[in-house]
Structure 1
Amino acid sequence: MRQPKSRPMSARVYLDHNATSPLRPQARAAMLAALETLGNPSSVHAEGRAAKALLEDARAAIAQGIGAERRSVVFTSGATEAANLALTPALRREGDEAPLEVLLIGAGEHHCVLQGHRFPPDAVETLPLTPEGVISLDALEEALARRSCRRVMLALQAVNNETGVIQPLAEAAALIHAAKGVLVCDAVQSVGRLKMTFATT
C-alpha cells in the first residue's frame, strides 16, 4: 500500500512574545558593552565611577522612556522582586499619613501578585474579571465604597502576561486616586509596546 506523501513542515511561528521576545540587536550590543565594564558602581576608583556612570545613564534613559523622574527608577532582578518590594502596607508616598490597610487585586494578576505578599490574608480582596478578561470596574467601585474609611492599594497589571488582554488602567487609576488610594501597576508587558507614562497612572 502506497503511503501518502507527507507535507513539508512549515516554518515554526513563535507566539509567546508576552513571556519572552528575541533580544533586539541594540539591546544585545548595550548588554555586551556593559559586561565589558569592570568596576563596582559603589566604589570611588576610576573603574567604579565608570560603572556608576553606565548605571546612571541607564536609569536616565528608562526614566525618560516612561515619563518618570530618575529617582523613581529602582533596579530589581525582575518583576517578581519588584512586586515583593511594592506590595506592602508600609509603602509610603510623600504626604501620606495613614498606612495602607487593604490590597485589591484583579483575578487575572500574575501569581506573584495574587499571593498578596506582606498584606495579611484577611486584608486582600480579589476582584472579578469581565468575560473579556479585564477587571470589573463596577466591582472595583463597589469595593472602594465598602472600604471608604480605609486606605487601599490596587495592584493591576497593564497587560496580561498570558492572554495579552489590556487592562483599563486609566479608568482604574481614576477610581483608586479618587479614593485617595495607591495604584501599583505591573507594566512589564506594556513597556515598549504601548504608549504609557507615569503621568497616566
Structure 2
Amino acid sequence: MTAYLDHAATTPMLPAALAAMTEQLTRVGNASSLHRTGRAARRVVEESRERIAKAIGARPSEVIFTSGGTESDNLAVKGTYWARRDADPARTRLVVSAIEHHAVLDCVEFLVRHDGAKVTWVEPTSDGFVEPEAVRRAIEQDPGSVALVSVMWANNEVGTIQDVRSIAAVAHEHDVPFHTDAVQAVGHLPVDFAASGADLLSITAHKLGGPIGVGALVARRDARLVPLSHGGGQERQLRSGTLDTPAIRGFAAAVVAATGALDTEIARLEGLRDQLLERALGLDLGIRPGGYWQAGDHERRVPGNAHLLIDGCDGDSLLYLLDAAGISCSTGSACQAGVPQPSHVLLAMGISEGDARGALRLSLGHTSTQSDVDEVIEALPAAIERARRARRATS
C-alpha cells in the first residue's frame, strides 16, 4: 500500500507549478538588479504577483511575498501589534481564536511574554466554529485596547470554515484590523480577499500545489505594519530580502491552476471525504468525526478534510501503524508532530484529553484517488486493534 493522506501538511507540486519553477531555475537574475537580466527577473515577479492577486480577488500591490505561512502570520500579527501600539499606547490587546495554527498562537504568546501584550482567546463551539458574536463580546470587553483580531479561515486539523466576512465586519465596527490565516483555504475554497473584508490574509504555496518556502501576506494598502526584517526594503519596505523568483513563479502557476480547477476539485474531494468518513464510521469500531461534518457540505468543512476520533487509541500509535502499512496521515498539525500532547484545537472544542489523544487527520488533495480511500479503510481495523492493545499495555 502507498496512500498519501496528509495533503493538509503539504501537497505534491502541480505539474504547471513544477514546469514553471524548473524553467525559471535555468535563468539568472536578481529582481532588484537594474540590468537586463535583473529586469527580466523583476518582470517574472510582477507578472506572478498580478496572477496571484487576480486569482484571489486582491490588487497586485497588496501581495507581499514571504517565505511561507509562518512568516506571513508573524508579519501580520507582530507587525500590526507594534504599529497599532506605537500609534496608540492603549492598543495592547489581541483578540484571537483558541484554535489557530501555532504560527499565530506562538506569535501571540511571544508578544505577551516580551512586549506586555494581553490576549483574549475566543473559544470555539463544540464543532469548531468561531462565532462572530463571541468575537464581538471579546472586543467589547474594552474596544479601545484591541490592536488586532485574528481568526483563521479554515482550520488545519478539523477543517471547519469560519464566517470570515461577518467576523471582519464585527472587527471593523470597532475600528480594529482583521487578519485571517487562509493557508488551508486558498486553492481549496473560493477566496476573495476584497469581498472578505479582511485587512490581512496569509497564504503559502506548498499547501495548494506550489513549492515549499514561498508564500504571501496579502495586506490592504492602508494596513499599518512594522517590518520584522530590515535590509533592501523589498516588498513595500515591509519584507526585505532577495526575492526567490523561481519559487514565486511556481507559486503563481499553482494558485492559477488550483483556483481554475476549484469547482471540479471541490466536488471530487467532497465525494472522497464523505465516502471515507461514512465507511470509517460504518466499521463500528468506536469512531466518530472530529468537528462539523454533514455529507455534501463544503461550505462549513474543507472538502478534503476527514478527521477521526477513535476511542481507546493513541493517535501517535495509529499514525505509526498506518505508516507501516504504507499510509501517510497525521494526528493534527504537522508542526506539532512528535510532541506528546493532545491537540489544543480539540481541547478548545471541549473534547476530553483522553479522547483528543485518539485523533487522526486524513487529508485529501489533487493526487488522491478512490484507491487511497479503499486502502485506509482496509488498514484501519488492524491498526486500531493493535493501538488499543498498546494503550492497555501501558495504562
Matches within 5 A, 1:64-79: 64-79=54-69
Whole-angstrom distance in 2 between the partners of 1:139 and 1:75: 32
Check 1:42–1:57 CA distance in 2 against 1; reply closer, same or farther (3 A cut): same
Question: 2:104 aligns to what?
Answer: 113
Check whether the contact 2:94–2:117 (CA below 8 A) recurs between aligned residues. no
For residues 44 and 122 of structure 1, do their structure 2 counterparts lie closer, same or farther at Cα, with a shift above 3 Å needed?
closer
Q: What is the one-letter code of the residue matched to 1:186? A: D
Q: Secondary structure at the match of 2:96?
A: strand
Residue 30 in structure 1 maps to residue 20 in structure 2: yes
What is the TM-score when the length of structure 2 is the normalising length? 0.45
For the pair 1:148 / 2:139, whether they are aligned, the reply is: no
Alignment-derived partner of residue 41 in structure 1: 31
Indicate yes or no: 2:152 matched with 1:160: no
Contact 2:95 2:139 in 1 (8 A): no
1:52-82 Cα offsets, whole Å, 9 max, x none, are: 1111111111111111111111110011111
Tell me, in whole angstroms, the C-alpha distance in 2 between the residues paired with 1:151 and 1:121: 13
**1:19 maps to which residue?**
9
SS in 1 for 2:43: helix
Deviation, structure 1 residue 151: 3.6
Q: Structure 1, unaligned stretches of length 5 or more?
A: 1-10
Residue correspondences, number:
188
The residue number in structure 2 matching 1:139 is 134
Per-residue CA distance 1:83-124 (angstroms, 9 max, x = gap):
1111132346xxxx6464321111110112112144645411
Q: What does residue 90 of structure 1 align with?
A: 82
Q: Does the CA-based 8 Å contact 1:127-1:139 persist in structure 2?
A: yes
Aligned equivalents of 1:182 and 1:39: distance in 2? Answer: 37
Is contact 2:95-2:150 (8 Å) kept?
yes
Which has a greater percent of helix? 2
Distance in 2, matches of 1:85 and 1:138, equals: 27
Equivalent position amino acid for 2:60 in 1: R
Structure-1 residue corresponding to 2:43: 53
Residue 102 (structure 1) aligned to one of 76, 79, 93: 93
Q: CA deviation at 1:128?
A: 0.5
Change in Cα spacing, 1:121 to 1:165, as seen in structure 2 (3 Å) is farther
User: Contact 2:100–2:151 at 8 Å: present in 1 too?
Assistant: yes
Residues 180-199 of structure 1 mapped to structure 2, 5 A cutoff = 180-199=175-194
Moved more, 163-172 or 39-48: 163-172
Percent identity of paired positions between Structure 1 and Structure 2: 38
Query: For the structure 1 residues 30 and 174, does the alpha-carbon distance in structure 2 shift closer, same or farther, using more than 3 Å as the test?
Result: same
CA offset digits 1:1-58 (Å, max 9, x no partner): xxxxxxxxxx443322222112110111111122122011111111111111111111
CA distance in 2, matches of 1:153, 1:71: 22
Question: Could you tell me which of 117, 124, 131 is aligned with 2:119?
Answer: 124
Moved more, 117-126 or 131-140: 117-126
Higher relative contact order (CA 8 A, sep 6+): 2
Cα distance in 2 for partners of 1:79, 1:62 equals 15
* Bigger mean CA deviation after superposition, 146-155 or 76-85: 146-155
Deviation beyond 3 Å, 4+ runs, structure 1: 97-100, 117-122
Superposition CA RMSD, Å: 2.0
- The code of the aligned residue for 1:35 comes to L
The 1-side partners of 2:164 and 2:2 are apart by 34
- In structure 1, how many angstroms separate the alpha carbons of the residues matched to 2:83 and 2:60? 19
Other structure's SS at 1:181 match: coil
Partner of 2:294: none
Q: Is there any run of 5+ residues in structure 2 with no aligned partner, and where?
A: 198-395
Q: Report the Cα offset of residue 178 of structure 1.
A: 1.3
* Structure 2 Cα separation of the partners of residues 172 and 113 of structure 1: 17
Q: TM-score, normalised by structure 1?
A: 0.85
Q: Residue 184 of structure 1: SS of its match in structure 2?
A: strand
Cα distance in 1, alignment partners of residues 131 and 5 from structure 2:
27
